[in-house]
Chains A and B, each alone.
Chain A
């Protein structure tokens, strides 16, 4: 029914609105946008390191053997599960260590208009922290950053993902 749909939509709006309230608060707390971006990334990282456990428990996804498989899981399973969207994967680097996620409709930016005096603010930067934190827990050091954003007038929103290195399991000294 419409009423039920309305409720479902609202429970998703709770997250979007709460995120908006957080960004607004951080913009009050910090003098410049770069600090807000950093704080959002840090909070995202903390969420990501916890979210990966929820994800692995619910999705039955095993270990990825390469970065292409990782990209597929992120776009088709994880984004779908948590935000209800499926970004497309494009712009692979020849070495296969970089790709882009293109977000057609980013649910974080519903109801958002960036004021002119926040041109350096990366509104959805929490997402980059979440991606980095979650992947670090499965031994992948990556860099995630927004390179296009519809909030800033770009045609699409694009997150660039770069594989840095595989994190080796730390064995305690003397146990090789």
Chain B
């Protein structure tokens, strides 16, 4: 049973080593730098989604899947639930964590705000990967107004 602090420290090292590293830089420039971390998170999310959802009942609706991420996935990954879930009922969801564990030790307020995107890329991928396993293609972005609160925006791609 690996202790939660191991994941936190490993994540920090991954950010330090890999955030600026991108073997296929695209036209996006700066934003693309985080793609390696995001895609690692995606693979982990895919596997976690599989392992967690196996014991769940079939999801009836999109909203059920999002609730599953906020409750079960978050609890499994970060030992807490997401603080709120909002949607416009048109495929856009906002998942808010008022004290996101990976930002919690960094600051309370605006200090280190510019470093924050690096620490969110993996988790955006984690959410996108879990959704993908559950049959939903999406785009996930994160924004921070003040640490350690964080909003993840999930935009479902209409098929």
Contacts and interface: CB of A to CB of B under 8 A. Distances in A.
A and B pair up: yes
A82 B3 contact: yes
Interface string B79-122: 10000000000000000000000000000000000000000001
Interface in B1-46: 1-7, 9-11, 13-14, 16-18, 21, 23, 36, 40-41, 43-44
Contacts, number: 95
Contacts of A82: 2-3, 5-6
A14 B1 contact: no
A10 B9 CA distance: 18
**What is the predominant secondary structure among interface residues of chain A facing chain B?**
helix
Given A7-B72, A14-B48, A17-B44, A46 B2 contact: no
Contacts of A83: 1-3, 6
Interface string B60-85: 00000000000010011101000000
* Most B C-beta atoms less than 10 A away, residue of A8, A39, A43, A50: A43
A21 B52 contact: no
B4 A10 contact: no
Contacts of B23: 28-29
B125 to A, nearest CB: 9
B157 interface: no
Contact of B52 (A10, A12, A29): A10
Contacts of A28: 23
Secondary structure of the B side of the interface?
helix
B70 to A, nearest CB: 14
Contacts of B10: 15, 18-19, 22, 43, 47, 126
B51 A13 contact: yes
Interface residues of A, number: 36
Size range of the chain B interface in the assembly: 20 to 34
A45 to B, nearest CB: 10
A10 B48 contact: yes
Contacts of A50: 9
Nearest to B76: A10
Nearest to B36: A25
B43 A6 contact: no
Given A14-B2, A25-B40, 11 more contacts: A7-B76, A10-B48, A11-B7, A18-B11, A24-B43, A46-B16, A47-B9, A81-B3, A82-B3, A84-B1, A84-B3
21 contacts: A2-B55, A6-B55, A9-B1, A14-B2, A14-B44, A15-B7, A17-B48, A18-B40, A18-B122, A39-B17, A43-B10, A47-B10, A51-B6, A54-B5, A81-B3, A82-B6, A83-B1, A83-B6, A84-B2, A84-B3, A126-B10
